[in-house]
Structure 1
Amino acid sequence: MNPGRSIRLFLVDGQPNGLMTAEIMNWTGHVITGPRTKLKELVQRPECDRTGIYFLVGPDPDNSLRPLVYIGETDNVGTRLQQHNKPEDKGGKDFWERACVITSKDANLTKAHVKYLESLLIRDANEIGRCKLRNGTNHEYINLPESDKADMAFFAEQVRTVLPVLGFDFLRERPVPSGKNKKQAPSADAESPRFVAEVPKYGIKALGQEVNGDFFVFKGSSAREDWVGVDDGYQGLYHQLREDGVLVKGEGGLCRFATDYAFSSPSAAAAVVSGRSANGRVHWKDESTGQTYGEWQDQQVSQVTSEGEAEQEQ
């Protein structure tokens, strides 16, 4: 079990949709984020006069399921953000709706540090695949002493920790199912058991497992070749997975998963496998016991509740 973390959030103007700062105990980094409509107030902040990295985030018009992101570095964040606020034909960027600025409270981040950080984070964003980057080709920056590289690796780790708390999910690493070749008994503290989803009429069979809040469908699982349900959000996800090569042409008129893929919910996974909307709490069944996902989850909650009541009685 991972240790807990304390993150201090502060609403600068008292509004949840305004400027917000974030800090982590024992980390020299300082984060401030806000909507583009608050750019005037943002660039007046003292943090924006420092060397730092920044993220510009907006919707992807070609895919509503992921954001467009630009990752940059500069000696003066405020000046750079003003440049990005210009119209596209004058060297600015039109797509972004929110900005996130990361600097150091002790002002010890140098130009070399932030160039290295930018390189690390662009690489991470590409590998994780939760967003579409507006950056051009990433030039790996390696001109940094070994000790500084270690410091920046730690700094980047804190950035990856705090961003999802602020609603930016694109650097959140996808968990990896460690026990997909094992049949595990349900446990409140362990990974879930393996689940199977089948559509016998079409010969569809998929295997999955819940890991750290994501629901994985394993490589080699089959899925319907075409989307046959109504036009909803999962249809967009289905076609995006086809386009990205996660779902590829398989045998017997079906698709197959070319890699393990993490879905946000069992229902999203069940819909892609079935080619139509599906209730994942019912569709997925424990490979060993035949319990539905919903029954298994309810058992976990009931078990914890019973243990808590027993402890109170002692």
Structure 2
Amino acid sequence: MTQGRSIRLFLVDGTPHGLLTAEIMNWTGHVLTGPRGKLSELVQRPECGRTGVYFLVGPDAENSARPQVYIGESDDVGKRLKQHNRTEEQGGKDFWEKVCLITSKDQNLTKAHVKYLESLLIQQAQRVGRCTLVNGTRHDYIGLPEADQADMAFFLEQIRTVLPVLGFEFLRDSSRPPSRDGAEGSSLSADEAAASPRFRMIFPKYGITAYGQEAEGEFFVLEGSQARASWAAPGHSYQPLHQRLLEEGVLVEDETGLLRFSRDYAFSSPSAAAAMVVGRSANGRTEWKREDTGQTYGEWQEQVVSEAAESSAEVL
């Protein structure tokens, strides 16, 4: 079973949309975030005078499904943020609406540490593909001692844990679910594997078969799954997502003339996943069926909820 974590959040000015700090128990890192409109207050905080990494986050005008993100580092984050607050003509950045900076409570982060950490963060953001990265290039910093590299790898994992709690999803992994119905080599227990069965969706008219699995609140369409050759419902709200998957190489044409998922891809719901497979809107709760029993996703979910409620009632 996954171990729980304790995260301490503090509303600096007592409002949910103002400055916010976050800390994880037994982690030396310290997170400070807030809207651009609060920048004058944020730069007065002591954290802004420390060495750290930061994220500038804003909407992507060309892709409403993901944010634009700039990842940077500085030994005086406050000074760097003032520079970014200038207009584009003055060397600043216009796109961002929120800022998030990560420093260390014990102030042991050095310039070398944050340069290496910045490189890891950019690499992670590129690999995950949940944002449009504004950074032009990623520099590899290899001069850090091996022990310090291990420390920064741990630091990165803590950042990836706390950011989604604050509403920043761009570092959250979108790789394959850890188990395929308890397959050999799975790191999950039998109970955990049973809670995440593999589903199949068949579209006989076009010879399409796709596979999916739910993990951590998202529905993954698995690598190798087939999809309709083109989008068949012009003007539908899911069409831009379908086009983006084509542009990013998630959906590629295979030798049969159909599209194929080149890698596992996470969707917010089984219906969004089903729509990408059939090229139009679809009810994923009924279209996805357990590969082993034929039970629909909706039926499986209702069964899981009912069993959990009954188990809870017995305990009480």
TM-score by length of 2: 0.93
Cα distance in 2 for partners of 1:183, 1:139 equals: 38
Cα distance in 1 for partners of 2:292, 2:86 equals: 59
Name the residue aligned to 1:281. 285
Cα distance in 1 for partners of 2:206, 2:73 equals: 51
Matched, 1:35 2:39: no
5 Å-filtered alignment, 1:1-314, equals 1-180=1-180, 190-312=194-316
Cα distance in 2 for partners of 1:246, 1:231 equals: 21
Cα distance in 2 for partners of 1:74, 1:51 equals: 6
Cα gap change, 1:183 to 1:230, in 2 (>3 Å): farther
Cα distance in 1 for partners of 2:209, 2:256 equals: 12
The farther-off stretch of 11-20 and 220-229 is 220-229
Alpha-carbon offset, residue 148 of structure 1 = 1.4
The two structures, once aligned, show a CA RMSD in angstroms of 1.9
Alpha-carbon offset, residue 177 of structure 1 = 2.6
Alpha-carbon offset, residue 44 of structure 1 = 0.8
Cα distance in 1 for partners of 2:283, 2:255 equals: 26
Cα distance in 2 for partners of 1:15, 1:189 equals: 41
| Aligned partners of 1:183 and 1:194 also within 8 Å | no
| Aligned partners of 1:22 and 1:30 also within 8 Å | yes
| Aligned partners of 1:10 and 1:22 also within 8 Å | yes
Cα gap change, 1:63 to 1:291, in 2 (>3 Å): same
Cα distance in 2 for partners of 1:19, 1:10 equals: 9
Structure 1 residue runs of 4 or more that deviate by more than 3 Å after TM superposition: 178-184, 186-191
Secondary structure of the residue aligned to 1:215 is strand
Structure 1, residues 102-125: CA drift from partner, whole Å, max 9, x if none? 111111111111111111111111
TM-score by length of 1: 0.94
Cα gap change, 1:26 to 1:258, in 2 (>3 Å): same
Alpha-carbon offset, residue 229 of structure 1 = 2.1
> Which amino acid counterpart does residue 103 of structure 1 have in structure 2?
T
Gaps of 5+ in 2: 185-189
> Which amino acid counterpart does residue 266 of structure 2 have in structure 1?
A
The farther-off stretch of 250-259 and 122-131 is 250-259
Identity %: 66
| Aligned partners of 1:175 and 1:211 also within 8 Å | no
Gaps of 5+ in 1: none
Name the residue aligned to 2:187. none
| Aligned partners of 1:188 and 1:300 also within 8 Å | no
Cα distance in 1 for partners of 2:60, 2:168 equals: 14
Alpha-carbon offset, residue 232 of structure 1 = 3.6
Cα distance in 1 for partners of 2:270, 2:260 equals: 18
Alpha-carbon offset, residue 182 of structure 1 = 6.3
Secondary structure of the residue aligned to 1:302 is helix
Structure 1, residues 44-78: CA drift from partner, whole Å, max 9, x if none? 11110111110001111221111111100001111
Cα gap change, 1:178 to 1:24, in 2 (>3 Å): closer
Alpha-carbon offset, residue 201 of structure 1 = 2.0
Alpha-carbon offset, residue 242 of structure 1 = 0.7
Structure 1, residues 218-271: CA drift from partner, whole Å, max 9, x if none? 222211122122524321111111111111113444211122222221011001
Alpha-carbon offset, residue 171 of structure 1 = 0.7
| Aligned partners of 1:175 and 1:212 also within 8 Å | no
The farther-off stretch of 201-210 and 28-37 is 201-210
Q: May I ask how many residue pairs the two structures share in their alignment? A: 311
Alpha-carbon offset, residue 283 of structure 1 = 1.2
Alpha-carbon offset, residue 284 of structure 1 = 0.7
